């Protein structure tokens, strides 16, 4: 069986472990990634901008390590906003993007996205903000294009989270030309699968973890839930997706809390995902059609 781990079509990656409860210098995670067949890494951020204190080295040192390991860097910018669309320190999502530009451009990042989180649980407030923030999404796309970066947004798993409704995702994508979409497979219940597959033409990258469907958002290591990754990736490949697939394991109470993304778990989940993508690729070559 052919293992696609060294091909550039779908480089498998993971979250760089720069979290307070599970921190190591970024260069150590880069060395780990290079030694175990990972092709991409997703960097978390700070509202003030990713810096040497969080990375453990200067941005330039980390960029050199990424280049030497032939790792594709991507970035997730989690922005928690209130009913006015601002962070607790009064920043807009666009302010946070601009603060992280030094790392984005120096690494450089191939894809960057916002994962907006609401401080409120009122669905009406969230839906209003989804529309009100459209000009900032447009400005973010324009800024990213100047730096040769693909900019996108991630949906949330359940309402009233931002863009939990696929129809709202479509609304935003049609309103902002050039905007990309980040699909988290473990955020999608089976009855909305076809709606998210319809967004494949907009996909910049994937988030991958397992969950006991129809329950979503458990962020389990692969094999501990019920997602059929062969079927999913058959459809993704058939519809033309080529981009990073980031393992987002742990970090949610339903998955047992933080710290599930150990070296051993990431190695095992990478292997399972590589095998699933290889099987999906063979199915595509053989002309089989997956059931949506």
Q: Residue 78: which of 41, 50, 107 has the closest Cα?
A: 50
Using CA atoms, how far apart are residues 185 and 229, in angstroms rounded to an integer? 9
DSSP 191-228: GGHHHHHTTGGGEEEEEE-B--TTS----BPTTSS---
CA 261 to chain CA centroid, Å, is 15
Q: Residue 75: which of 102, 112, 50, 101 has the closest Cα?
A: 112
Q: Is 174 helix (H, G, I), strand (E, B) or coil?
A: helix
Determine the pLDDT at residue 288: 59
Q: Is 237 helix (H, G, I), strand (E, B) or coil?
A: helix
Using CA atoms, how far apart are residues 172 and 131, in angstroms rounded to an integer? 8
Please measure the distance between the N-terminal and C-terminal CA atoms of the chain and give it in whole angstroms.
25
Determine the pLDDT at residue 121: 76
Task: Please tell me the CATH superfamily of domain 7-286, with its number.
Answer: Divalent-metal-dependent TIM barrel enzymes (3.20.20.150)
E strands within 17-166? 18-19, 22-23, 40-43, 72-81, 109-118, 150-154
Q: Which residue ranges make up each domain of the chain?
A: 7-286
Q: What is the pLDDT along the chain (292 residues), one digit of tens a residue?
A: 334 444 558 999 999 999 877 889 999 999 999 999 999 999 999 999 999 999 999 999 999 999 999 999 999 999 999 999 999 999 999 999 999 999 999 999 999 999 999 987 788 999 999 999 999 999 999 999 999 999 999 999 988 899 999 999 999 999 999 999 999 999 999 999 999 999 999 999 999 999 999 999 999 999 999 999 999 999 999 999 999 999 999 877 777 777 788 999 999 999 999 999 999 999 987 765 544 4
Determine the pLDDT at residue 259: 79
Determine the pLDDT at residue 291: 43
Determine the pLDDT at residue 120: 76
CB atoms within 10 A of CB 289: 10
**Residue with the two structure tokens 């994508």:** 173
Tell how strand 72-81 and strand 180-184 pair up.
unpaired
Determine the pLDDT at residue 158: 86
Q: Residue 208: which of 244, 253, 179 has the closest Cα?
A: 244
Cβ 248 vs Cβ 207: under 8 Å = yes
The count of residues in the chain is: 292
Give the list of residues 6+ apart from residue 209 with CB closer than 8 angstroms, or none.
184, 185, 186, 218, 219, 220, 221, 222, 225, 247, 248, 249, 255, 269
């Amino acid at each position: 069986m052919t293992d696609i781990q060294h091909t550039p079509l779908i480089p498998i990656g993971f979250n760089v472990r720069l979290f307070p409860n599970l921190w190591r210098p970024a260069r150590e995670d880069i060395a780990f990634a290079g030694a175990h067949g990972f092709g991409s890494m997703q960097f978390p951020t700070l509202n003030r901008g990713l810096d040497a204190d969080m990375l453990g080295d200067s941005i330039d040192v980390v960029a050199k390590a990424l280049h030497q390991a032939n790792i594709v860097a991507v970035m997730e910018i989690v922005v928690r906003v209130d009913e006015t669309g601002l962070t607790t320190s009064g920043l807009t999502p666009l302010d946070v993007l601009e603060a992280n530009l030094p790392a984005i451009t120096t690494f450089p990042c191939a894809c960057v996205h916002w994962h907006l989180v609401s401080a409120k649980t009122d669905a009406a407030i969230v839906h209003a903000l989804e529309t009100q923030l459209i000009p900032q999404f447009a400005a973010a796309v324009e800024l990213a294009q100047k730096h040769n970066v693909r900019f996108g947004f991630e949906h949330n798993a359940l309402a009233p989270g931002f863009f939990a409704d696929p129809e709202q995702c479509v609304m935003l994508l049609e309103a902002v030309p050039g905007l990309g979409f980040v699909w988290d497979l473990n955020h999608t219940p089976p009855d909305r699968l076809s709606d998210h597959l319809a967004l494949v033409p907009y996909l910049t990258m994937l988030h991958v973890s397992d969950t006991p469907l129809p329950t979503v958002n458990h962020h389990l290591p692969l094999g501990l839930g019920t997602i059929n990754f062969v079927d999913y990736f058959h459809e993704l490949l058939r519809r033309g997706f080529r981009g990073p697939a980031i393992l987002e394991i742990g970090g949610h109470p339903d998955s047992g809390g933080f710290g599930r993304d150990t070296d051993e778990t990431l190695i095992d989940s990478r292997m399972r995902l590589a095998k699933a993508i290889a099987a999906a690729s063979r199915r595509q070559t053989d002309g089989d059609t997956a059931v949506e």
